[in-house]
């Protein structure tokens, strides 16, 4: 059994990684085509577009892991059946349940790889990709530093420490200069929100600087006549599904404390929780679909069939999540339902 476990694990991991490489290359190619249409905006060049696609490949790999898993498992069992190895395995006393245990243990290695990519690599590379692209495509947001984002609005320079969803920002610093490039006004606002085509600053401290004196004034709320559109700020906002698990937990706590909308981030969190189970479900499903006696079936057909299964499951998973948002179904139900149903069906059929 140890030899069999090692043999199937190596085969499953190898075929899955090959399938993942092919899927990522295909989707990256389409992404390059999309990004080529965006080149020429601001300083967004072809090299920036290629770098953006390269930095987003870890996120693509993480999203495509379940589809690659079902393709890899279908190919692995298909090859075993083609060379009559699956018949030998079954006739030697290995039941479908035993085979499911072996495949699950092999799938755990795929789960570990997906967690490494999704939690350690993808969030960092995705944030870098989105920030480089947004800064290159707009001339208002000029850079990102350890102290937040810097933007220019006419003769003013703006520093935004934290960008939140829903056209909301926090810790805003505005520095206004005169025609001689002398600092005349410094404004700090605890937060700002965009409503009815205007920015509103809250809890403001304004420092006015003249040749004679420096005066400080405080206001509860004031309108901010800025041309900085929220669409430009949202360019640099990382989507919830691209954050790490602990990053999502931290962000959810922050949103709850400030009475902000949490549904998209809750769904993203539960998708990360259920992802390992989705990979295992895809692997186990292949046991039901590949028959021992079907040795003459073309492996390419199995790969195509596995791809279709993975795509259909991905679509159903997305539909379930969107329906949950529309009908306000709890995230742990709408996100986990497709995987739980699939696992339950596979477990029931394997016992027969």
For residues 205 and 188, the answer to whether their CB atoms sit within 8 Å is: yes
Q: What are 237's two structure tokens?
A: 């906002």
**Backbone dihedral region for residue 84 (phi beyond 0: left; psi -120 to 50: alpha; all else: beta):** left
Q: Based on the number of CB atoms within 10 Å of its own CB, is 267 exposed (0-12), middle (13-18) or buried (19 or more)?
A: buried
In degrees and rounded to multiples of 5, residue 189 shows phi and psi of -130, 135
Cβ neighbours of 337 (radius 10 Å): 18
pTM for this prediction? 0.78
Instruction: Provide block-wise average pLDDT over 10 residues at a time, the chain (352 residues).
Output: 90 94 95 90 87 94 92 89 84 87 94 94 88 73 68 81 78 88 89 84 91 88 81 66 83 76 86 93 86 58 79 89 87 91 88 76
What 3-state class would DSSP assign to 166?
coil
Q: Number of C-alpha atoms within 13 angstroms, CB side, residue 189?
A: 23
Pair of tokens at residue 146: 């350890």
Distance, in Å, from the CA atom of 40 to the CA atom of 162, rounded to the nearest integer, reads 28
The pLDDT value given to residue 101: 92
Q: What is the pLDDT of residue 141?
A: 58
Query: Cα 265 to chain center, whole Å?
Result: 11
User: What are the φ and ψ backbone dihedral angles of 70, each rounded to 5 degrees?
Assistant: -70, -35
Q: What is the pLDDT of residue 15?
A: 94
Residue 45 and residue 39: Cα distance in Å, rounded? 5
Segment (H or E) for 293? none
pLDDT given for residue 234 in this prediction? 65
Of the chain, the end-to-end C-alpha distance in Å amounts to 23
């Amino acid at each position: 059994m140890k030899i069999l476990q090692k043999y199937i694990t190596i085969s499953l991991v190898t075929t899955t990684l090959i399938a993942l490489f092919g899927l990522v290359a295909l989707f990256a190619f389409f992404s390059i085509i999309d990004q080529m249409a965006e080149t020429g905006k601001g300083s967004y060049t072809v090299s920036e577009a290629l770098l953006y696609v390269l930095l987003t490949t870890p996120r693509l790999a993480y999203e495509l892991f379940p589809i690659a898993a079902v393709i890899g498992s279908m190919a692995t069992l298909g090859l075993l059946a083609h060379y009559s190895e699956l018949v030998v395995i079954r006739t030697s006393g290995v039941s479908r349940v035993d085979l499911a245990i072996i495949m699950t243990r092999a799938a755990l290695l795929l789960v570990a790889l997906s967690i490494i990519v999704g939690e350690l690599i993808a969030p960092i590379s995705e944030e870098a990709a989105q920030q480089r692209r947004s800064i290159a495509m707009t001339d208002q947001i000029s850079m990102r530093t350890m102290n937040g984002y810097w933007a220019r609005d006419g003769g003013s320079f703006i520093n935004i420490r934290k960008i939140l969803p829903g056209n909301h920002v926090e810790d805003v610093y505005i520095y206004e200069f005169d025609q001689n490039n002398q600092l005349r006004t410094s404004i700090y606002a605890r937060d700002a929100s965009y409503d009815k085509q205007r920015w509103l600053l809250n809890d403001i401290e304004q420092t006015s600087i003249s040749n004679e004196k420096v005066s400080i004034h405080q206001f509860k709320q004031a309108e901010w006549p800025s041309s900085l559109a929220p669409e430009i700020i949202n360019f640099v906002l990382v989507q919830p599904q691209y954050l790490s698990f602990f990053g999502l937990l931290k962000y959810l706590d922050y949103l709850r404390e400030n009475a902000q909308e949490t549904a998209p981030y809750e769904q993203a969190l539960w998708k990360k929780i259920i992802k390992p189970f989705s990979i295992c479900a895809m692997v186990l499903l292949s046991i039901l679909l590949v028959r021992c006696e079907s040795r003459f079936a073309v492996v390419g057909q199995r790969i195509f069939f596995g791809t279709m299964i993975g795509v259909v499951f991905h679509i159903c998973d997305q539909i379930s999540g969107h329906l949950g948002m529309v009908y306000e179904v709890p995230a742990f139900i709408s996100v986990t339902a497709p995987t739980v149903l699939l696992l339950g069906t596979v477990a029931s059929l394997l016992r027969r």
